[in-house]
Amino acid sequence: MSQLLDSAESTPLLKGAVGSDGNMEDGCSRWKSIRVMYFTMFLSSVGFSIVITSVWPYLQKIDDSANGSFLGWVVAAYSLGQMVASPLFGLWSNRRPRREPLVCSILINVAANILYAYVHLPPSNRKYFMLIARVFVGFGAGNVAVVRSYVAGATSLKERTSAMANMSAFQALGFILGPALQAGLSFIGETGVSIEVIDLQFNMYTAPALLAAFLGIINILLVVLILREHRVDDHGRQISAINYTSEERVDVTDDTDGSIDHIAVVTSNIIFFVVLFIFATFETIATPLSMDMFAWTRKQAVLYNGIILAAIGFESILVFLVVKIISQKVGDRPVLLGGLIVTFFGFFILFPWGNVYPKIQWSDLQNSSSHGGPSSPQPISNSSVEPTGCPPEQTWCQYTPVIYMAQYFVSDIFIGVGYPACNVMSYTLYSKVIGPKPQGVYMGWLTASGSGARTLGPVFVSQVYTNLGTRWTTSLLCGVLFAAIVLLACMYRRLIAFSVRHGRIEEP
């Protein structure tokens, strides 16, 4: 524990730093700006996670025609918007002061969250308005590419892993507080309060989105008032700065000669895609799976999964602290490989087994001997106002064993260790492979890769889970993770820093 505290005290998150020329003012300005980027990353994850556990019940409430398959599209909509926006904001940030794409993206995010709170107003097709709102929330979150490129460009090679881990810690904190805030706001209830003057239904579903919009306004103020442009090379020497009077970049030094290993770049993008794909599927099926397996109501699922995701977020912060120490001793690549293996076991544990079957919603249906049999699960009548358990249209529930709550919790623990390690190490390695080159567009493509995973993951898993069940879902996800482990092992030697590849710095 003392080692963790010592590491935390020496991190740039908590201490300022002098500039490369010994200028304390330059160093303080650089780290203040980096901290604004930490907060922006935090709010980006809050914008996603603050409604993630309530999307499914909210969707059911506003539009009866919505089904589990459409849920996948709603969850994926955020990432689809982010995938489109990330390269655009990345290119913008390479050519103009970064505050411009940041302020624009956050304004889009604020407006989209307000729209999300008003999807109850249209007389029909409300599910499509929710879909549009989530697309634009994601479009605004395309600023993650700008955030990552700024932090990568404003830190030396020695500072990079620590700064990236700090940024991931803020991202994890957003994932903690998002579901936790949603769970805390669940006391408002589904009905809540109607504010007729502005046609607003303030309830457990709309309150989190409105809170995210308010935090976005605070973020804009911080970007405008504090953020300044800084870029350093792998040694920490200033490369360029922004003259905010003329809004032009001024080159200071140039230590960027040399080519980038594009095979390593593509490999990093693939691995990052897999990491985000796997976690997106986990987030998507958490609520429907727990409602099906444990017969939770909509309100219980929002509350309990909010608590679970918050706990995983706390676990992730501890992992980030440990990762900073371990990576200094063994390197970034072994940590990434270990994270993939741990995540693999997390999903392997989730495989259903035994001879106990889920409770099924046989509402308004009579028990029929045609469904029975000596080894078949018997339908259970549900007389509650809100049916609980597996929907009868998911026929796999009748012959697939239940996932036990203990399995679910142990799987959460493993994924809570593996995912954050993979996440921070994958884009830390990526930034080091690119080196001191301008990283806006490259980070845009990395973010687009992750967003593509978050787009395809929910659609994929909602279709497979709804139609084929938990056995196919867990088997396919384990297969994807195993392929990523093999790819990393094959390309292990190429995933090295730009300066190491060109012989300017010895490999640690």
> What confidence tens digit (pLDDT) does each residue in 106-154 have?
999 999 999 988 888 888 888 889 899 999 988 988 888 888 888 877 8
Q: Which two tokens stand for residue 252?
A: 């200071």
Q: Which two tokens stand for residue 467?
A: 């139609």
d(CA 452, CA 482): 20
Show Cβ contacts of residue 36 under 8 Å, excluding neighbours closer than 6 positions. 222, 223, 226, 227
CA nearest neighbour of 48 among 171, 207, 147, 224: 171
Q: What is the pLDDT of residue 478?
A: 93
d(CA 221, CA 215): 10
DSSP 8-class letter at 22: S
Q: Which two tokens stand for residue 360?
A: 């099924």
Domain chopping of the chain, boundaries: 11-363+387-501
Using N-to-C axis directions, what is the helix angle for 68-95 and 440-467, rounded to 10°? 180
DSSP 8-class letter at 187: G
Q: What is the pLDDT of residue 24?
A: 53
Angstrom CA distances, 40 to 147, 283, 310, stand at 7, 22, 19
CA nearest neighbour of 270 among 435, 488, 420: 488
CA nearest neighbour of 165 among 182, 148, 177: 148
Contact 16, 27 (CB under 8 A): yes
Residue type (1 letter), 492: Y
Place of tokens 């990079």: 160
Q: What is the pLDDT of residue 30?
A: 79
Provide CATH code, domain 11-363+387-501: 1.20.1250.20
Q: Is 210 exposed, middle or buried (0-12, 13-18, 19+ CB in 10 A)?
A: middle
Residues of the chain short of pLDDT 70, as ranges, are 1-27, 68, 232-258, 362-385, 436-440, 499-508
Place of tokens 């879902």: 473
Contact 283, 75 (CB under 8 A): yes
Q: What is the pLDDT of residue 233?
A: 62
